[in-house]
Amino acid sequence: MNKRIMEAFITGFGWVSKESMGHTGCIQHFPPNTILPGIKGKDILDRPHKPFGRMDAFSKLGFAAIAFAMKDAGIKKEEEKKNVSMIVSTVTGCLETDITFQETISKKLPSPAIFAYTLASCFLGEACIYFGLIGESFVIDEAKTNGLEGLFMALEIIESGVSDVVLCGVCNSDIETINTNSHTIKPGSLFFVIEKKCLHSYGTIQSTSLENFYYQNNVRITDLYELAQKCSNREIQPFKGPSI
């Protein structure tokens, strides 16, 4: 019995790391650093967005990578609502913010401003509001830390017809974590725009299971950062029809 092959196009990706942030068309590099960069609204958005300044560091990290990925894919902020789903994998979540909020409880009155970002999914809601997205959005605690569970879910969402466009990625704060599976946790954020059909793309991603992902039919992928590297080495290409 042949396994079902799921396939979609990669139309954009964006990231924030200790070394750089942006998308392939616009990259801001940083000098050798030991921490993630502080992110300001003007670094990622064309127009001022006051709520961004109130976000915690974890939310800014994820929101920025989403904004960069959407800009790379040519998806603009418009009045019309867009059926775009979002999935993010995280190990650290917003633990830093949770700890800070707990400290406000023990020392003084609880802070409502900090409480607003004590859920790891908060930045997804902020992105939905700003970009006008109405698809599914959720966070998963992925034990392997490679982002492929989220990517597999993204392909399933597209295959099911729930959304034709899905943003999927990883987002982790730069904090110490206990990882019982000995997997490396890379601080930063990385998001891809995955689409059912398009005019231009970085190529296709295919999967038959959580253990099998292939870029452009035959290049095996073991994590999202490896996929980003493959896309970075390939100029965006015009659509030539499905490969399967």
CATH of the domain at 133: 3.40.47.10
The residue with greater pLDDT, 32 or 173, is 173
This prediction has a pTM of 0.88
Q: Would you state the pLDDT for residue 191?
A: 97
Is 41 among the domain residues?
yes
DSSP 133: B
Segments forming the whole domain that contains residue 130: 13-198
Q: For residues 83 and 135, is the Cβ–Cβ distance under 8 A?
A: yes
Read off the pLDDT of residues 172-194 as tens digits, 9 standing for 90 and up: 988 765 554 556 678 899 999 99
Low-confidence winner among 33-47, 50-64, 88-102 (lowest mean pLDDT): 88-102
Is 215 among the domain residues?
no
Is 87 among the domain residues?
yes
Looking at the structure of the chain, the number of domains it has is 1
Is 103 among the domain residues?
yes
Computed over every residue of the chain, the mean pLDDT equals: 84
Is 19 among the domain residues?
yes
Which of 210, 94, 203, 95 lies closest to 150 in space, CA to CA? 210
Q: What's the rounded Cα separation, in Å, for the pair 113 and 115?
A: 6
Q: For residues 95 and 175, is the Cβ–Cβ distance under 8 A?
A: yes
Is 89 among the domain residues?
yes
Is 27 among the domain residues?
yes
Q: What's the rounded Cα separation, in Å, for the pair 70 and 64?
A: 10
